[in-house]
Structure 1
Amino acid sequence: MVTLPRGCALGLAMSIVYGGFSSTMACKHVEKLMCTGAKYIRNRRIEAFHSDAILYHSSKESHEELVHLDWYENAFPEMMKLTRLLKNVDLIDGRLVNIRDDSIIIDDRIERKMYNFKSLVRVYIGSPSVQKTVKANMAAVSVGEGEPFVCFSKPSEREPMIVNSLTKVSNILNISAQQRKLIRATISPQVTHHRILIRTLEEVLNGLKPELDYLNNQCPSKGVHLGQQVVSNCLKFLYNTAFSSDPDSTSWMRLVPAKKVQSSCSQKWEDVLEMFNDLIECLKTEDWLLDHVVKLEAMKEGLSQIKDVLIDKSIGYKEARLQESLVQKKLSKILGYPSKCLFTLLLYYLYGHVRDIEVDLCGGFYSSGNDKFCLCMGRILTSDEERMIWSGVRHLDRALELFKFIWETSGNKGILDLQGHLWCVGVESRMITYKGKMFFIHGISL
């Protein structure tokens, strides 16, 4: 973790738009500060540093008053420039995506510009003009409902957030300890099903595979090459060895092996665990793959608990079902509420993917009285094209739905209203409805 000297963060935020210190120069300055010896700390740590450098509110909320009006005037042209450069590019759950064809972009230069752009916008949203726009937009839909609350007015509400555990979700929603026990007891048996585990592991590996292929072509290394081999072998192992629980099949439809295989020769989950250990060891120094290594570590947590359980098609249907049941029983009992493995299984169970959900502006959780609550989250867009807007809406909807799922599973009787807020430079403000939720599109202007 990079720690800035007191006052350095605010100074860097100002320097991006003052004194001819361009965003490119700012990135170079960031790169110097983030070098430890010959190792350059990249990817998720770049974002963390930008957040500290630009969102200087990490110290005290009162520091916001240090941003002068002329800073906003100087920052606006810089944001317009970056908007043009980044048109049709979005940052979705840590990956750069070309919105036009949904292709993944791996480009260090574009990534830095994107982080710089979003950092500038986060500060700019605190400007009087943008805050006035937000209040007006909120008031327009709150006629007759009393005084509307104002979200994103505090710097702490404009911080980025990575949703990567049930604990983080529950802390935001003020879920009690007793309610957390209920949530875990409810979801654990569902998400630890053998079929969900297999599909989640495959999703983790299939998400890693194309990035390994790209890196092996662009900047080959021993670790990446070995990683490719391990991923391929592990996927093949899961496909050929893992038995499948088809709920529509019956025992008489399944073939029994001609000879009983000795248990000592049967494959176990320990084989998968060893491959995951090898993969982590191969890739732990590959900075571009830090997010994937985190997911490998998360799944390793679960695999280590079932390493002695058989995973072999040759053992016969009844024994296979017994082993599947044992996997579910062990995982649902051992994986605790803060478990990253449990959360990854839940993500796949709900959405069919495993990447942690990243939100540009964490927003807040508000009580409006009479057992009514509201959860707001925000997203920063680089253009107002329809594909970009709807991509942002769907992304926010997924994040909001996760919080709603936990809220309802906790047994809360209160009404939870969900709101998404999207910001784009130089567009007209409007409001759209998606799946019963309100999404506000706020224009950013001088």
Structure 2
Amino acid sequence: MSMRVLKSTGAAFVMQNMRTCVNKPIYKETFDVNSLKKICDMLVVSAQQRKLVRLAICPQVTQHQIWTGALMEILNQLEIEMCVKDCMKGSNMAQQIVVNCLRFLDDVVSYDPDSTSWMRVAPKKDADSSPSAKWSDLLEMFNDLINCLKNDHEFLFYVIKLEIMKEGLSQIKDVLVDKNIGYKEALHQQSLVHKKLTKSLGHSSRCLFTLLLYYLYGSIQDIELDICWYSEDVSGNKLYLCVGKIIASDEDKMLMHIFKQLDRALGVIKFVHEMAEMKEILEIQGHLWCIGSKNRSFAYRGHNFFIHGISLE
């Protein structure tokens, strides 16, 4: 049985056998949790509360160190993958671009001990001075890197991530990043990055959501779910939100991998719920379904997870 058929069959089984709690399904097919909008849809957040969410989250996750950290995380992981698969045609050029991108970011975040002093001033420019670097230089390198990798399915994840982060780069492309422009000017340019990203990245932005994942977990890995539903108690004061995965094996290694992914999903949902200042008390759970598995439950990092068996009879 293919994974696609398994997930489709599993979802039908869930909807048929758990009507009492799956009374308000939001997603009945596999979907990516990749934007604030999607989280707000899952929580049934009002339009006014969505404004609160964005106003609360954007300034936190668009800080200069979060922005540069997320970019470096993507590139560092890509560099490792390339080293493992260095037989790829054209990999030498792609690897060199990654090295140049990381060198660019290293210049952005690395300063000599004296260079961070408030006394440091911008050096005098002469006729032979090279122009100051800008974020547009990194944007251009991202475009070249995407062109090198776009036809290799093994690097599709990174091509997508690079495309996602281009949204932010395009908003700050005219901002200087030269570490020799003087300390006060450097702080000003970092502040511009923060302000421009905060202003431009909206609820549907996958770039903003990538920054949120990095802010919360230091990770840029995607979150994929197979089903999501919610219900409310009679008084309307409590909201139950359940997210689930349908898996082919309940071996310990697989379960731990899924637990970690669901834990991140539940953590992001809880964080957005808090930022929305919703009056309802939120109770969240993670569920896993597997053919022939025994029903049981686990607690992992403060979250409750339930494993259910799927019967094809």
* Residue 221 in structure 1 maps to residue 89 in structure 2: yes
1:226-280: per-residue Cα shift (whole Å, max 9, x none)?
22111111112211x10359xxx99974673683346962211121111111112
C-alpha distance in 2, partners of 1:236/1:280?
A: 18
- Secondary structure in 1 aligned to 2:299? strand
What residue is the counterpart of 1:234 in the other structure? 101
One-letter amino acid of the structure 1 residue matched with residue 50 of structure 2: R
Identify the match of residue 79 of structure 2 among 192, 209, 215: 209
* Residue 287 in structure 1 maps to residue 156 in structure 2: no
Shift of 1:311: 0.8
C-alpha distance in 2, partners of 1:385/1:126?
A: 23
**Cα 1:195–1:125, aligned 2, differ >3 Å: closer, same or farther?**
closer
Shift of 1:377: 1.1
What residue is the counterpart of 1:269 in the other structure? 135
Q: Percent identity?
A: 48
| 1:245-260 → structure 2 map (5 Å cutoff) | 253=117, 256=120, 259-260=123-124
- Contact 2:245–2:287, Cα closer than 8 Å, also in 1: yes
Identify the match of residue 281 of structure 2 among 398, 405, 415: 415
One-letter amino acid of the structure 1 residue matched with residue 230 of structure 2: F
Shift of 1:332: 0.8
One-letter amino acid of the structure 1 residue matched with residue 229 of structure 2: G
Shift of 1:198: 0.8
- Secondary structure in 2 aligned to 1:299? helix
**Cα 1:259–1:180, aligned 2, differ >3 Å: closer, same or farther?**
same
- Secondary structure in 2 aligned to 1:280? helix
| 1:395-410 → structure 2 map (5 Å cutoff) | 395-410=261-276
Identify the match of residue 386 of structure 1 among 228, 248, 252: 252
**Cα 1:311–1:121, aligned 2, differ >3 Å: closer, same or farther?**
closer
1:200-248: per-residue Cα shift (whole Å, max 9, x none)?
110111222233334432xx323x4322111111112211x10359xxx
C-alpha distance in 2, partners of 1:276/1:252?
A: 29
One-letter amino acid of the structure 1 residue matched with residue 147 of structure 2: E
RMSD across aligned positions (CA):
2.9
C-alpha distance in 2, partners of 1:124/1:358?
A: 16
Greater RCO, 1 or 2 (C-alpha within 8 Å, sep 6+): 2
Larger Rg: 1
- Contact 2:241–2:283, Cα closer than 8 Å, also in 1: yes
What residue is the counterpart of 1:175 in the other structure? 45
**Cα 1:157–1:301, aligned 2, differ >3 Å: closer, same or farther?**
closer
> 4+ residue stretches of structure 1 with deviation over 4 A?
249-255, 261-264
One-letter amino acid of the structure 2 residue matched with residue 406 of structure 1: V
Identify the match of residue 150 of structure 1 among 21, 27, 30: 21
What residue is the counterpart of 2:34 in the other structure? 164
What residue is the counterpart of 1:313 in the other structure? 179
| 1:17-416 → structure 2 map (5 Å cutoff) | 23=1, 116-117=2-3, 119-124=5-10, 126-127=12-13, 149-151=20-22, 157-217=27-87, 220-222=88-90, 224-239=91-106, 241-243=107-109, 253=117, 256=120, 259-261=123-125, 265-359=131-225, 361-370=226-235, 371-416=237-282
1:140-160: per-residue Cα shift (whole Å, max 9, x none)?
xxxxxxxxx323997x75411
- Secondary structure in 2 aligned to 1:315? coil
C-alpha distance in 2, partners of 1:332/1:210?
A: 31
| Greater displacement, 410-419 / 433-442 | 433-442
- Contact 1:243–1:312, Cα closer than 8 Å, also in 2: no
| Gap runs ≥5 in structure 2 | none
| Gap runs ≥5 in structure 1 | 1-22, 24-115, 136-148
One-letter amino acid of the structure 1 residue matched with residue 123 of structure 2: K
- Contact 2:150–2:159, Cα closer than 8 Å, also in 1: yes
Shift of 1:386: 3.5
C-alpha distance in 2, partners of 1:339/1:443?
A: 36
One-letter amino acid of the structure 2 residue matched with residue 366 of structure 1: S
**Cα 1:151–1:185, aligned 2, differ >3 Å: closer, same or farther?**
same
- Secondary structure in 1 aligned to 2:148? helix
**Cα 1:198–1:255, aligned 2, differ >3 Å: closer, same or farther?**
farther
One-letter amino acid of the structure 2 residue matched with residue 328 of structure 1: H
- Contact 2:115–2:183, Cα closer than 8 Å, also in 1: yes
| Greater displacement, 163-172 / 205-214 | 205-214
**Cα 1:174–1:352, aligned 2, differ >3 Å: closer, same or farther?**
same
1:261-314: per-residue Cα shift (whole Å, max 9, x none)?
469622111211111111122222223322221211111111111112111221
**Cα 1:252–1:221, aligned 2, differ >3 Å: closer, same or farther?**
closer
- Contact 2:79–2:95, Cα closer than 8 Å, also in 1: yes
C-alpha distance in 2, partners of 1:339/1:125?
A: 28
TM-score, normalised relative to structure 1: 0.63
- Secondary structure in 2 aligned to 1:369? coil
C-alpha distance in 2, partners of 1:157/1:251?
A: 52
